[in-house]
């Protein structure tokens, strides 16, 4: 019987530094697109399954015991660990393979919140995506930028006796399929998406665009969650601000970088909007405000607590954030842009209402996000 480890267990081992090694037996193209990644580095090697089986005797001598063997859905790794154990090496298989890893969500509590409020930053390691729950125990909560798996958010809210009353997508995402409409429908919440981002100015499911400065009602008059329009990554990007505490910046500002402005085909115009967002909307805020984005790019952006966060003060130490010449800012942002994946246009259309099968969605979501214009901050 194959020895299996779940995605949750593997993440913990990586986080604790106890995972000795990962042997990824997918083909080289799949491995090049994305790999298993946790909050800390782990030794890893790619040997396609057909090569691993043929060279199992040598491979068994080169990897340590308790190596985790990874394939796309778990079938190939189940086969290989039996072969490797015949060669005297005790290894494990990742249950469900990278398909199961792609669905892993890891919640971590947020510390810097007003009294009476709780929150979680919820990491999706396979996509380097971040979503959030903010609310009042026994009252209401808001879910921001949810992944396409509603149940973990429902369960986490229920754990604290909170009703999900609002679901917000800070923008129409290009790198992953949003779970916002499905989650809102399941729990009867109000769904919010920027009107400016939706294809044709509308989406085919009920939604209420958030106005600039609008308060999201969490059932406690002492706690304010404000929507702030901060365009630049997309035409209608929204940030969620808890004044004096934190701001969820979506893809506008990352721990190390700014959101790329080219995904809607308006690079120069949106780079100009991003300049004004930085100087007119972000710069006046309290510099002690905690910044929590919707993505990370580099492992260096994950702190010792496993959180992806920084402060406005730290962000404004970057030259690009204090550049006063708009033309120079635009030139630097556009000049640093890597090529965007071709399928990002399709993901945006799906998030704006275009139909897609489960198989198409799984394929579209392969690989980490590439939403940052630069990581030089």
Tokens of 238: 């929204």
Report if residue 370 sits inside a domain.
no
* Helix-helix angle 326-335:267-276, to 10 degrees: 130
Whether 53 maps to a domain, the answer reads yes
The answer, yes or no, to whether residue 161 has pLDDT greater than 60, is yes
Sequence-separated contacts (24+) of 199-204 with Cβ below 8 Å: 199/172, 199/348, 199/349, 199/352, 199/353, 199/354, 200/352, 203/352, 203/353, 204/353
pLDDT tens-digit series, residues 243-263: 999 999 999 999 988 999 998
Exposure string of 58-90, with b = 16+ CB inside 10 Å and e = fewer, is ebbeebeebbbbbbbebebbbbbbebbeeeebe
What are the distances in angstroms from CA 150 to CA 108, 157, 158, 184, 354? Answer: 17, 11, 13, 9, 19
Residues in the chain: 377
Q: Are residues 136 and 97 in the same domain?
A: no
Q: What range defines the domain where residue 123 resides?
A: 106-364
Domain co-membership, 158 together with 282: yes
Rounded to the nearest 10 degrees, how much is the dihedral formed by the CA atoms of 218, 224, 225, 226? 130
Q: What is the mean pLDDT of residues 217-240?
A: 87
pLDDT band at 202 (very low <50, low <70, confident <90, very high): low
| In-domain check, residue 114 | yes
* 353-369 mean pLDDT: 88
Do residues 150 and 73 both lie within one domain? no
Answer whether 66's CB lies under 8 Å from 89's CB.
no
Is 138 found in the same domain as 9? no
Q: Which of 67, 101, 135 is the last residue of a domain?
A: 101
- Residues 19, 130, single domain; the answer is no
Strands (E), the chain: 4-5, 22-24, 44-46, 68-70, 92-94, 106-109, 118-124, 129-135, 140-144, 163-168, 190-192, 215-216, 225-229, 238-242, 246-250, 253-254, 257-258, 290-293, 310-311
User: Tell me, what CATH number does 32's domain have?
Assistant: 3.40.250.10
Query: Can you give the CATH number for the domain in which 338 is found?
Result: 3.60.15.10
- Domain match, 336 and 190 both: yes
Any domain includes 220: yes
294 in a structural domain: yes
- Kindly tell me if the per-residue pLDDT of 278 is higher than 90: yes
- Inside any domain, residue 371: no
The reply to whether 92 and 158 lie within a common domain is: no
Greater confidence (135 vs 206) lies with 135
Residue closest to 91 by CA, chosen among 133, 48, 56? 56
Work out how many domains the chain is built from and give that number: 2
Cα–Cα nearest to 163, from 186, 139, 144: 139
**Where do we find the tokens 């919140």?**
113
Residue 1's pLDDT is what?
A: 40
Dihedral (Cα; 15, 298, 295, 196), 10-degree rounding: -170
> Mean of the per-residue pLDDT values for the chain?
91
Residue 71's Cβ-side half-sphere holds a number of Cα atoms within 13 Å equal to 18
Lowest mean pLDDT among 127-141, 178-192, 207-221: 207-221
pTM (two decimals): 0.94
Instruction: Give buried/exposed letters for 164-181 (b at 16+ CB in 10 A, else e).
Output: bbbbbbbbbbbbbbbbbb
Catalytic choice (71, 129, 141, 371):
71
Reduce the DSSP state of residue 370 to 3 states and report it.
Answer: coil
Sign of CA dihedral 366, 372, 375, 377: negative
Percent of the chain past pLDDT 90, that is, above it, reads: 72
CA–CA gap between residue 228 and residue 152 (Å, rounded): 27
Reply yes or no on whether 141 is catalytic: no
Q: How confident is the model at residue 2 (pLDDT cuts 50, 70, 90)?
A: low
Residue 198 has pLDDT above 90, yes or no: no
Q: Do 76 and 159 fall within a single domain?
A: no
- 211 is a domain residue: yes
Residue 19 sits in the same domain as residue 88: yes
Q: At what angle do helices 180-187 and 151-159 cross, to 10 degrees?
A: 50
Residues 247 and 136 occupy one common structural domain: yes
Beta strand pairing call for 92-94 and 44-46: unpaired
Whether 323 is in a domain gets the answer: yes
Q: How is 57-112 classified by DSSP, letter by letter?
A: HHHHHHS-TTPEEE-SSSHHHHHHHHHHHHTT---EEETTHHHHHTT--EEEE--S
195 with 289, same domain: the answer is yes
What would the mean pLDDT of 348-357 be, rounded to a whole number? 88
- Using the 3D structure, point to which of 101, 136, 168 is the last residue of a domain: 101
Q: Is 161 helix (H, G, I), strand (E, B) or coil?
A: coil
Q: Which residue from 260, 320, 329, 262 is spatially nearest to 295, judged by alpha carbons?
A: 260
* Short-list 77, 133, 135, CA closest to 105: 133
CA 168 – CA 8 distance, rounded (Å): 26
Q: 161 and 12, same structural domain?
A: no
The CA radius of gyration of the chain, in Å to the nearest whole number, is 21
Last residue of a domain, one of 50, 74, 101: 101
């Amino acid at each position: 019987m194959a020895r299996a480890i779940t995605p949750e267990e593997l993440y913990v081992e990586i986080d604790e530094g106890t995972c000795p090694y990962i042997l990824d037996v997918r083909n080289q193209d799949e491995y090049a697109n994305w790999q298993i990644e946790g909050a800390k580095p782990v030794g890893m090697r790619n040997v396609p399954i057909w090569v691993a089986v043929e060279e199992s005797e040598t491979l068994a001598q080169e990897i340590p015991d308790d190596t985790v063997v990874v394939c796309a859905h778990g079938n190939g790794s189940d086969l290989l660990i039996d072969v490797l154990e015949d060669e005297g090496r005790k290894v494990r298989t990742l249950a469900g393979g990278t398909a199961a890893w792609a669905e892993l969500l890891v919640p971590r509590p947020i510390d810097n919140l007003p009294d009476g409020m709780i929150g979680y930053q919820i990491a999706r390691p396979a996509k380097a995506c971040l979503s959030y729950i903010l609310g009042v125990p026994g009252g209401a909560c808001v879910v921001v930028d949810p992944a396409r798996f509603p149940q973990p958010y429902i369960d986490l809210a229920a754990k604290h006796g909170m009703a999900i009353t609002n679901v917000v997508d800070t923008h129409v995402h290009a790198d992953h399929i949003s779970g916002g409409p499905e989650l809102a429908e399941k729990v009867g919440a109000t769904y919010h998406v920027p009107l400016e981002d939706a294809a044709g100015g509308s989406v085919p499911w009920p939604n209420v665009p958030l106005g600039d400065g609008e308060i999201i009602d969490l059932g406690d008059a002492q706690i304010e969650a404000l929507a702030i329009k901060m365009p630049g990554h997309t035409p209608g990007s929204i940030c969620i601000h808890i004044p004096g505490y934190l701001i969820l910046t979506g893809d506008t500002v990352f721990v190390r970088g700014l959101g790329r402005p080219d995904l809607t085909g308006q690079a120069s115009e949106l780079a100009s909007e991003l300049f004004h967002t930085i100087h007119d909307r972000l710069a006046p805020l309290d510099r002690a405000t905690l910044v929590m984005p919707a993505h990370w790019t580099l492992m260096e952006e994950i702190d010792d607590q496993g959180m992806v966060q920084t402060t406005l003060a730290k962000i404004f130490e970057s030259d690009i954030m204090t550049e006063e010449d708009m033309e120079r800012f635009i030139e630097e942002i556009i000049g640093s842009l890597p090529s965007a994946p071709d399928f990002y246009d399709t993901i945006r259309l799906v998030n704006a209402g275009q139909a897609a099968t489960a198989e198409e969605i799984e394929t579209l979501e392969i690989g980490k996000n590439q939403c940052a214009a630069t990581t030089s901050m």
